């Protein structure tokens, strides 16, 4: 068990691709869009890596026409790492994914306990599906691999691997916040969840505050646990075994965003966006359409800005890109309706010939178009009610290659811990405060904006995704990303 791990194996709810039913009734593979995919793909590529997860399609194997393996094999060859699917039935998806992961853990861990639906059947399905995943992990890995499990959907992996007698080195990273004890203890299965997390060798969080919250819950529910140490990574002693807890703020591939924003076609697209909006200032919001992202509050803040500061009318556009997410869930459909009504109200109240204040896109944009929007924007308005990290904030900075831009950031995003001195922090519930921040920063002169953005860009450049991976692997197995070298042949073949 102490030999050097041979391969990195990532396990997550979703594979970094989505299998969808195509218009002709067959299946098609599409690259995924979430934060996790953005963060991990560069880490596995051409390093013999394996990614285990659900394809996103309920039970495609039941469809005799689906050549799932063939579709994924083609994607694997292009992506440079192996994909291994876990097939889930419609009932499993409903209970484990929609019911427990997104109906209980997601709202609870974002401090929105009143949105939780504590359904014991969903909890049981969550355990069953975790067991199913663990069986595949056991089958597809060896004791030489390092198994890195991602996120709240799979908190029982180490627990089930151990219960099967399978020895693996395991690390777990939680992409969402970890709540304080007063909130966590509302969970009817609190003890089982916290116990399951103690079975990993390393549990990683986005911020020191998340790690502290976890340690406080651990002390409350398992008083025998003793947490000791200082710095980003500390040790929890459970009497018969130890494991480690760390804070590892996730990031982005800074160079990739920076380089893409500098590309002629992307810069040209950014210019076209500015031109179409008549070179007015652009305030940009980009989010999955989720109730944690504070989109209604943000639109209200835009309304307040226009009402309080009439001088500002006609001088800017607020562009909100909302990526469809969890559309099968009623709450998300209602949220979409609420957002669209609010936008209608603001536009109805303030538009005049030649100017509509809010532009709204309800779709996922191609990556280069998204980067063009980042590059075109004068202000990135990132105001989640609660967020593990928020990669959009970092991507916006990386794509602001001229160093001229402003990041207005919610103090409840994990990114605020890193950016507290450099971003303009706001309370997303305080619509007047957000309106004031917008009014002030719209009047900042270029020198102020450049000083602000240059510091932010430097932060993201220094603390990029590769540093995140390095710091996690260093804590987990005393190794670095570079210790899993890129295969020479694959690298040459990449062109
Ligand atoms: C979870 C945590 C944590 C967005 N619109 C488009 C698009 N995106 C991409 C962005 C970004 C990603 O989606 C969103 O990442 P976030 O971090 O903002 O948010 P979550 O999806 O909630 O992610 C979060 C993250 O995990 C990582 O740990 O930071 O706190 O909630 O990368 O670029 N991509 C494309 N078109 C779009 O229209 N192509």
Same domain, 89 and 186: yes
pLDDT for the residue numbered 493: 33
User: Which residue has the CA at smallest separation from atom 8 of ligand 1?
Assistant: 33
Residue with tokens 């651990």: 218
* Residue 364 CA, closest ligand 1 atom number: 38
Q: Is 65 in the same domain as 199?
A: yes
383, 390, 413, 469: which to mutate for ligand 1, most atoms within 8 A of CB? 390
pLDDT digits (tens, 9 = 90+) for 313-328: 999 999 999 999 888 8
Closest Cα to atom 11 of ligand 1: 35
The set of protein residues with a Cβ atom below 6 angstroms from ligand 1 is 33-36, 38-39, 175-176, 250, 286, 288, 321, 323, 364-365, 367, 370, 387-392, 395
Residue 32: name the closest of 150, 122, 204 by CA: 150
Atom from ligand 1 closest to the CA of residue 392: 18
The rounded Cα 369 to chain-centroid distance in angstroms is: 19
Among the ranges given (31-35, 210-214, 256-260, 285-289), the one the predictor scored with the smallest mean pLDDT: 31-35
- Cβ–Cβ under 8 Å, residues 246 and 203: yes
Sign (positive or negative) of CA dihedral 449, 451, 454, 458: negative
Residue 117 lies in a domain: yes
Q: Give CA–CA dist 170/270, Å, rounded.
A: 43
Task: Give a yes or no: residue 57 inside a domain.
Answer: yes
Among 263-267, 356-360, 363-367, where is mean pLDDT lowest?
363-367
CATH number, domain containing residue 345: 3.40.50.2000
Query: How do beta strands 226-228 and 233-237 pair?
Result: antiparallel
Q: Kindly give the number of the ligand 1 atom that is closest to the alpha carbon of 33.
A: 34
Query: How far does residue 178's CA lie from ligand 1's centre (Å)?
Result: 18
| Minimum-distance ligand 1 atom for the alpha carbon of 252 | 32
Give the closest residue (by CA) to ligand 1 atom 36: 365
**210 classed as catalytic:** no
The total of structural domains in the chain comes to 2
Helix, strand and coil percent figures for the chain, each rounded to 5: 50, 20, 30
Digit-coded pLDDT (tens) for 9-29: 999 998 888 777 777 777 778
DSSP tag of 89: -
pLDDT beyond 90 at 34: no
Any idea what DSSP says for residue 328?
Answer: T
Range(s) of the domain holding residue 274: 254-462
Domain shared by 296 and 366, yes or no: yes
Same domain, 219 and 337: no
* Least confident among 51-65, 102-116, 232-246: 51-65
Rounded to the nearest angstrom, the distance between the alpha carbon of 365 and the centre of ligand 1 is: 12
Closest C-alpha residue for ligand 1 atom 39 = 367
Look up residue 111 and give its two tokens: 């401090």
Across the range 255-281, mean pLDDT stands at 97
pLDDT score recorded for residue 45? 79
Nearest-CA residue for atom 6 of ligand 1: 364
Task: Name the closest-CA residue to atom 15, ligand 1.
Answer: 35
**Do both 243 and 260 map to the same domain?**
no
Nearest CA to ligand 1 atom 4: 287
Ligand 1: centre distance to CA 222 (Å):
34
Note whether residue 395 is domain-resident: yes
The count of C-alpha atoms lying within 13 angstroms of the C-alpha of 165, restricted to the half-sphere facing its C-beta, is 0
Residue nearest (by alpha carbon) to ligand 1 atom 34: 33
**How far is Cα 280 from Cα 278, in angstroms, rounded to an integer?**
5
Using the mean position of ligand 1's atoms as its centre, give its distance from the Cα of residue 391 in Å: 6
Which residue from 322, 304, 407 is spatially nearest to 361, judged by alpha carbons? 322
Could you tell me the two tokens for 52? 């285990």
Statement to judge: residues 304 and 398 lie in one domain: yes
CB atoms < 10 A from the CB of 332, how many? Answer: 17
CA of 392 to the centre of ligand 1 (A): 6
The pLDDT of residue 482: 73
In a domain, 15, yes or no: yes
Ligand 1 centroid – CA 307 distance (Å): 31
Clarify whether residues 292 and 166 are in a common domain. Answer: no
Instruction: Say if 495 falls within a structural domain.
Output: no
Overall average pLDDT of the 227-242 stretch: 94
Told to judge if 151 belongs to the known catalytic residues of this protein, a careful annotator would answer no
Same domain, 34 and 81: yes
Tens of pLDDT, residues 393-408: 999 999 999 999 999 9
Phi-psi region of 231 (alpha: psi -120 to 50; beta: other; left: phi over 0): left
Instruction: pLDDT band for 495, please (50, 70, 90 cuts).
Output: very low
For a ligand 1 pocket test, name from 10, 32, 34, 359 the mutation site with the most ligand atoms within 8 angstroms of its C-beta.
34
Residue 494's pLDDT is 33
Measuring CA to CA, which residue among 382, 381, 385, 369 is closest to residue 438?
A: 381
Mutational test site, ligand 1, from 12, 13, 33, max ligand atoms within 8 Å of CB = 33
Give CA–CA dist 72/55, Å, rounded.
Answer: 9
Ligand 1: which residue has its CA nearest to atom 33? 392
Query: 154-208, pLDDT tens digit by residue?
Result: 999 999 999 999 999 999 999 999 999 999 999 999 999 999 999 999 999 999 9
What is the phi/psi pair of residue 286, to 5°? -135, 120
- 361 pLDDT above the threshold of 80: yes
Residue 78: the pLDDT is 82
Identify the bridge partners of residue 51 per DSSP, sorted by sequence position.
Answer: 10, 83
Question: Is 2 part of any domain?
Answer: no
* Rounded Cα distance, 158 and 161, in Å: 5
- Spatial CA neighbour of 148 closest among 472, 391, 485: 472
Average pLDDT value for residue range 458-468:
94
**Mapping DSSP to helix (H, G, I), strand (E, B) and coil, where does residue 438 land?**
helix
Report how far ligand 1's centroid is from the alpha carbon of 235 (Å). Answer: 31
pLDDT of 430 over the 50 cut? yes
Same domain, 313 and 380: yes
Measured in Å, residue 458 CA sits from the centre of ligand 1 at 21
Element (H, E) at 194: helix 190-197
Say if residue 175 is in the same domain as residue 234. yes
- How many percent of the chain have pLDDT more than 90? 78
Separation between Cα atoms, residue 108 and residue 256, nearest integer Å: 34
Whether residues 183 and 327 fall in one domain: no
Alpha helices in 21-166 (DSSP H): 35-44, 68-79, 90-92, 106-109, 120-140, 157-163
pLDDT bucket at 490, cuts 50 / 70 / 90: very low
pLDDT at 152: 98
Q: Which two tokens stand for residue 131?
A: 């067991």
Of 110, 153, 175, 452, the active-site residue reads 175
Dist. CA 223 → ligand 1 center (Å): 37
Is the domain of 472 the same as that of 454? no
d(CA 388, CA 459): 18
Of 387, 422, 464, 470, which is the active-site residue? Answer: 387
Of 154, 123, 104, 111, whose CA–CA distance to 331 is shortest? 104
Greater pLDDT, 330 or 19: 330
Say what the pLDDT of residue 338 is: 97
């Amino acid at each position: 068990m102490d030999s050097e791990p041979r391969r990195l194996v990532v396990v997550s709810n979703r594979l970094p691709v989505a299998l969808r039913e195509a218009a002709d009734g067959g299946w098609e593979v599409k690259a995924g869009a979430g934060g996790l995919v953005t963060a991990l793909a560069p880490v596995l590529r051409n390093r013999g890596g394996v990614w285990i997860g659900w394809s996103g399609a309920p039970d495609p194997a039941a469809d005799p026409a689906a050549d799932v393996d063939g579709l994924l094999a083609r994607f694997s060859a292009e992506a440079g790492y192996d994909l291994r699917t876990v097939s889930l039935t419609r009932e499993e998806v409903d209970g484990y994914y929609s019911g427990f992961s997104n109906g209980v853990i997601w709202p609870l861990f974002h401090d929105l306990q009143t949105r939780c639906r504590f359904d014991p059947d969903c909890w049981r399905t969550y355990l069953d599906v975790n067991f199913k995943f663990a069986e595949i992990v056991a089958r597809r890995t060896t004791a030489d691999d390092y198994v890195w499990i991602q996120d709240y959907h799979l908190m029982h992996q180490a627990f089930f691997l151990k219960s099967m007698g399978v020895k693996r080195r395991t690390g777990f990273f939680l992409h969402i916040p970890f709540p304080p004890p007063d909130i966590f203890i509302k969970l009817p299965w609190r003890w089982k969840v916290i116990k399951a997390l103690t079975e990993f060798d390393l549990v990683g969080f986005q911020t020191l505050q998340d790690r502290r919250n976890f340690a406080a819950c651990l002390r409350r529910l398992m008083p025998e646990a003793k947490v000791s140490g200082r710095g980003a990574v500390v040790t929890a002693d459970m009497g018969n075994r130890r494991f480690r807890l760390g804070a590892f703020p996730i990031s982005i591939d800074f160079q990739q965003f920076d380089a893409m924003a500098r590309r002629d076609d992307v810069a040209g697209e950014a210019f076209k966006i500015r031109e179409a909006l008549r070179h007015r200032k652009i305030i940009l919001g980009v989010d999955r359409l989720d109730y944690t992202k504070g989109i209604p509050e943000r639109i209200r803040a835009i309304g307040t800005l226009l009402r309080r500061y009439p001088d500002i009318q006609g001088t800017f556009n607020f562009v909100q890109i909302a990526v469809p997410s969890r559309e099968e869930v009623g709450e998300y459909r209602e949220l979409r309706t609420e957002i669209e009504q609010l936008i209608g109200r603001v536009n109805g109240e303030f538009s005049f010939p030649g100017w509509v204040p809010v532009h709204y896109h309800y779709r996922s944009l191609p990556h280069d178009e998204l980067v063009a929007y980042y590059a075109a924007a004068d202000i990135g308005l990132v105001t989640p009610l609660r967020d593990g990290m928020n990669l959009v904030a970092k991507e916006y900075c990386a794509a602001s290659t001229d160093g001229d831009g402003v990041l207005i950031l919610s103090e409840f995003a994990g990114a605020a811990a890193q950016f507290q001195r450099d971003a303009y922090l706001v309370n997303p519930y305080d619509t007047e405060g957000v309106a004031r921040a917008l009014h002030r920063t719209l009047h900042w002169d270029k020198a102020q904006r450049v000083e602000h953005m240059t510091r932010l860009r430097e932060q993201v450049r220094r603390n990029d995704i590769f540093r995140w991976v390095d710091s996690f692997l260093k804590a987990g197995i005393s190794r670095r990303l570079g210790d899993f070298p890129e295969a020479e042949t694959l690298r040459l073949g990449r062109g």
